[in-house]
Structure 1
Amino acid sequence: MNRLLILIGKIIVGVLHLFGRNAGNLPGIILWHLTGGKCCKMFRVDCPIIAITGTNGKTSVTNCVAQLFEQSGKNIIINKEGNNLDTGICSLLLRHCDGAGRVNADYLILETDESHVPVVYSQLRLETLVVLDFFRDQLDRNGEMETLIQKINGFCKTFDGNLILNGDDPNTARLGKANPDSRNVKYFRADRYAFATEKIFEASEGRFCPFCGEPLVYEFYQYSHIGKFACPKCGFGDYEPYISAGGIDLEKPVFTADEHEYSPKLNSIYNVYNMTAVAAVAKLYGIAQDVTANVIDNYTVNNGRMETFMLGDRLTTLNLAKNPVGANMTLRVMNEMKGEKELLFVLNDNVADGLDVSWIWDINFSIFERVTRVVTSGTRAYDIAVRIKCSGYDPANIIVRPDLDEAVAELAKTEGRKFVIANYTAVQPTRAALKRYISANGGKCDE
């Protein structure tokens, strides 16, 4: 039966390729229905599987981990295009298996949607799970964050493989206690950086101990609920980190981990955590230090993630923000840069974004520093404009341009540093609009 299903799947992949489609998800959807929701169970995977999950950062970390092994001469399979649900992973394996469903590689490196970790890895044997963070995200699809945490916690109760956790996020660190018999739990963390605070200024979900209910005490907050915490009652948060980031200087930018200094191209505390997770995987798998340094120091993110453009002579940074924390992190990077700047915020409410855009009220626009003008665009351009106005920002400096090309032109007509925030379905149209402006008016982009 498996051979027949594999054959059907490969025929579907072939037909889609004939029509110029990448077969990223549809073959898996069809096989999902044919197998009663067990589409990944058809495959025989004998190599180690490393999965990366979390609300933010999993695409970057997955790509970096893949580069660690590629540059070490290993044959890897990765879902680089995303497609991180069980159906997408099924489609990926279909493209790389033989007629009997055998997948030949040295490693599978799989970005995995948080809610699908228990689904996929009840069917495939997982060796290492990296969990980056948990934040509220797409509530109309995922439900409250605790729902996701409980799903993964249930999986971790019987998982005895390597578990690499962000120890500065109480929502991920708690997973380390799910299986008391596991000796393979490893935490990564980061020392306090220059813009950390002693009070919280952003939406957070990590205020109470998940084991005894006592309010957690923070020594500092890096951003949102990420920071050095401890429970004064039961001691949750008291652990020995497997690897720590220190010497963090975002102006250079540099940080150290295991006495090695790294110089990443992206200067945000958010990226430091991502790269520390990469360093943890490198340490676990004995990757050569020169390879680790080369990956961390040279990784850049285009495709709308801290991507830079020149609108004429105006330096512009575009970043995807699909939830409050993503938006707050971009605002933090913007505020930490010296001088005046302007912001374009593009907000859509398409199905893939989540139809509920109430999350914009968890963005802390009151922390604006030296932001002289804001342009808003997208299908919910007026909603984000109202939100920014309600934060206390001068409405005379807010300009609404629902049409993207008009919004980009409006942003570019004045001098100075520019930032652009776009949510999920808005980011690619925004990239295209920026490129159209450059084509017509001059400038350049990273590509």
Structure 2
Amino acid sequence: MWLIRVFMVALGKLIIGLMRLFHFRGGNLPGIILQALRKNCLEIFQVECPIIACTGTNGKTSVTNFIGHLFQKEGNNIITNPEGNNLDTGICSLLLKHCTMTGKVKADYLVLEVDESHVPVVFSQLKLESLVVLNFFRDQLDRNGEIETLILKVQRFCETFEGNLFLNGDDPNVVRLGYANPSNQKNVHYFSVARYANATDSLYEVGDGMFCPLCKEELVYDYYQYSHIGRFRCPKCGYGNITPYVRTANVDLKNYQFTVDGKTYQTPYNSIYYMYNMCAVYAVAKFYGFDEENIRNTFQTLKVNNGRMEEFRDGESRIVLNLAKNPVGANMTLRTLNEMEGEKELLFVLNDNIEDGCDVSWIWDINFSIFRNVSRVVTSGSRAYDIAIRIKVSGYDAKKITVIPDIQAASDEFLSTTGQKFAIANYSAVQPVRAALKKAIEGKARKNG
């Protein structure tokens, strides 16, 4: 085993060295090659430090970044994957960069984003201390299958997991994980967000948590925050009657703030979607005993500038870019757009590459009928016409839709006018859109002297 470990590590490090030499980017490639030689490639590493992992359909990159930042500011040496690469092969590639030639990983903590379908795979090979589960929504059906299939994978893992669970207590698809291992109840910690101003009494967008997973009775909701996230209960068996470890209150999106444990915090983000992310982060921070000033500064100043509610400035124009790889992500961006006053313009970029999921039928679950004060839409990407048709069918004026498949040309056109602007891009499109917007802004600045 020792010789195999040394050989595998040496090979992996050689591949990484060659990639750097030829300026080749491909975060998963070393792990893919090692996995082809040894299926359980993560077993070659000796990891003795605690591992904190974050998973869920939406928000795991942002939450992982926030948790990692908190640990670093406490003086810990951490290893993390802040830009994704969250499959077992990506995590293998990450650990190769930080291990000795014998596979020993030196760190105080590993803080990892993990794809929800790969949680059982990764942590059958590495020992997990704490798992944060944010939400479960339909996503990339051609890769993940139906949502129930995905939830069951994580649930089966939780049946034997004896570590800490931090679960979204307002998502009925997540709460069920707290029931998976009856002997581990003491380590289950729910986080919850109190009703905010724009919550609804009835389902406003597509949702996936309508029935009790224990007795199959239809769930009753006091309110919906977004999609199927909200305060729910089963009238028959009481499923959903949780006692939150952390409960966020007084969510004020206008002033970018919320209250938890009697303390008010500021955040750069103003959507209910991000308030749930911050609530999850706070639950971990509270459990690990982080310094109050560290928590406050992190919430107030940290921005995950990778296409997650990222802001750009173009003269008088403010542009917000957000990743949306499923209906819920798109609907939440549209809700944020609608909650802002004044006229807005929208750029929607849709690709159908392998990493996106080739099936783009999910766009028909986006609620475009809620458009308010949207004066123009530009669509782009390999499926630019599909998203344009979807928006037109919702009742939006086709004369206000411009279709430009080339992302750079679309970005140039999008920024040819001034005002408030939102850009939505799915997975493979978000980085090209970031680059295209920056290039367009820089080009205009040079032209204007």
Q: In the superposition, relative to structure 1, how do residues 142 and 19 fare at CA in structure 2: closer, same or farther (>3 Å)?
A: same
Instruction: Choose the corresponding residue for 1:260, options 258, 263, 273.
Output: 263
**In 1: Cα distance, 2:391 partner to 2:8 partner:** 52
Asked if the contact 1:348–1:379 (Cα under 8 Å) also holds between the matched residues in 2, the reply is: yes
CA positional deviation for 1:402: 1.9
Match of 2:120 in 1: 118
Match of 1:400 in 2: 403
CA positional deviation for 1:99: 2.1
Match of 2:75 in 1: 73
Q: Which residue identity lines up with residue 117 of structure 1 in the other structure?
A: V
**In 2: Cα distance, 1:134 partner to 1:281 partner:** 19
Match of 2:435 in 1: 432
Match of 1:310 in 2: 313
Instruction: Choose the corresponding residue for 2:144, options 139, 142, 145.
Output: 142
Match of 2:99 in 1: 97
Q: Which residue identity lines up with residue 365 of structure 1 in the other structure?
A: F
CA positional deviation for 1:399: 1.8
Aligned pair 1:293/2:261, yes or no? no
**In 1: Cα distance, 2:81 partner to 2:443 partner:** 35
Instruction: Choose the corresponding residue for 1:38, options 21, 37, 40.
Output: 40
Aligned pair 1:87/2:89, yes or no? yes
Q: Which runs of 4+ in 1 moved over 3 A?
A: none
Moved more, 300-309 or 251-260: 300-309
Match of 1:27 in 2: 30
1:100-155 residue CA offsets vs partner (Å, 9 max, x unmatched): 21111110001000011000101110000000011111111111111110000000
Root-mean-square deviation over aligned CA pairs: 1.4
Corresponding residue SS for 1:388: helix
Q: Which residue identity lines up with residue 373 of structure 1 in the other structure?
A: R
Instruction: Choose the corresponding residue for 2:287, options 284, 288, 291.
Output: 284
Match of 2:191 in 1: 188
Q: Which residue identity lines up with residue 257 of structure 1 in the other structure?
A: V
CA positional deviation for 1:442: 2.4
Give the gaps of 5 or more residues in structure 1: none
Moved more, 66-75 or 293-302: 293-302
**In 2: Cα distance, 1:386 partner to 1:61 partner:** 34
Q: Which residue identity lines up with residue 183 of structure 2 in the other structure?
A: D
**In 2: Cα distance, 1:4 partner to 1:86 partner:** 19
Q: Which residue identity lines up with residue 152 of structure 1 in the other structure?
A: V
1:60-106 residue CA offsets vs partner (Å, 9 max, x unmatched): 10011011110000111111231111111111111111122111111
Moved more, 111-120 or 26-35: 26-35
CA positional deviation for 1:298: 1.1
Asked if the contact 1:13–1:23 (Cα under 8 Å) also holds between the matched residues in 2, the reply is: no
Match of 1:207 in 2: 210
Aligned pair 1:241/2:244, yes or no? yes
Corresponding residue SS for 1:186: strand
Match of 2:368 in 1: 365
Q: Which residue identity lines up with residue 163 of structure 2 in the other structure?
A: G
Asked if the contact 2:62–2:308 (Cα under 8 Å) also holds between the matched residues in 1, the reply is: no
Aligned residues: 443
**In 1: Cα distance, 2:353 partner to 2:19 partner:** 25
**In 1: Cα distance, 2:109 partner to 2:10 partner:** 24
CA positional deviation for 1:23: 6.2
CA positional deviation for 1:404: 2.4
**In 1: Cα distance, 2:344 partner to 2:294 partner:** 37
Moved more, 230-239 or 7-16: 7-16
Match of 1:178 in 2: 180
Corresponding residue SS for 1:442: helix
Corresponding residue SS for 2:328: helix
CA positional deviation for 1:408: 2.4
Instruction: Choose the corresponding residue for 2:64, options 50, 62, 65.
Output: 62
1:343-401 residue CA offsets vs partner (Å, 9 max, x unmatched): 11111111111111100000000111111221111111111111011111122222222
Corresponding residue SS for 2:183: coil
Give the gaps of 5 or more residues in structure 2: none
1:383-426 residue CA offsets vs partner (Å, 9 max, x unmatched): 11110111111222222222223322332333321111111111
Q: Which residue identity lines up with residue 418 of structure 1 in the other structure?
A: K
Asked if the contact 2:65–2:304 (Cα under 8 Å) also holds between the matched residues in 1, the reply is: no
**In 2: Cα distance, 1:345 partner to 1:5 partner:** 43
Match of 1:163 in 2: 165
Corresponding residue SS for 2:417: coil
CA positional deviation for 1:438: 1.1
Asked if the contact 2:51–2:112 (Cα under 8 Å) also holds between the matched residues in 1, the reply is: yes
**Identical residues among aligned pairs (%):** 62
CA positional deviation for 1:27: 1.5
TM-score by length of 2: 0.96
**In 2: Cα distance, 1:390 partner to 1:329 partner:** 20
Q: In the superposition, relative to structure 1, how do residues 81 and 21 fare at CA in structure 2: closer, same or farther (>3 Å)?
A: farther
Asked if the contact 1:311–1:434 (Cα under 8 Å) also holds between the matched residues in 2, the reply is: no
1:251-309 residue CA offsets vs partner (Å, 9 max, x unmatched): 00110111121100111111110011110000111111111111111121212111112
**In 1: Cα distance, 2:68 partner to 2:126 partner:** 19
Instruction: Choose the corresponding residue for 1:421, options 399, 424, 444.
Output: 424
**In 2: Cα distance, 1:358 partner to 1:344 partner:** 19
**In 2: Cα distance, 1:361 partner to 1:257 partner:** 37
**In 2: Cα distance, 1:367 partner to 1:133 partner:** 23
Aligned pair 1:409/2:421, yes or no? no
Match of 1:106 in 2: 108
Q: Which residue identity lines up with residue 371 of structure 1 in the other structure?
A: V
Match of 1:8 in 2: 11
Match of 2:50 in 1: 48
Q: Which residue identity lines up with residue 274 of structure 2 in the other structure?
A: N
Corresponding residue SS for 1:389: helix
Corresponding residue SS for 2:391: helix
Asked if the contact 1:311–1:437 (Cα under 8 Å) also holds between the matched residues in 2, the reply is: no
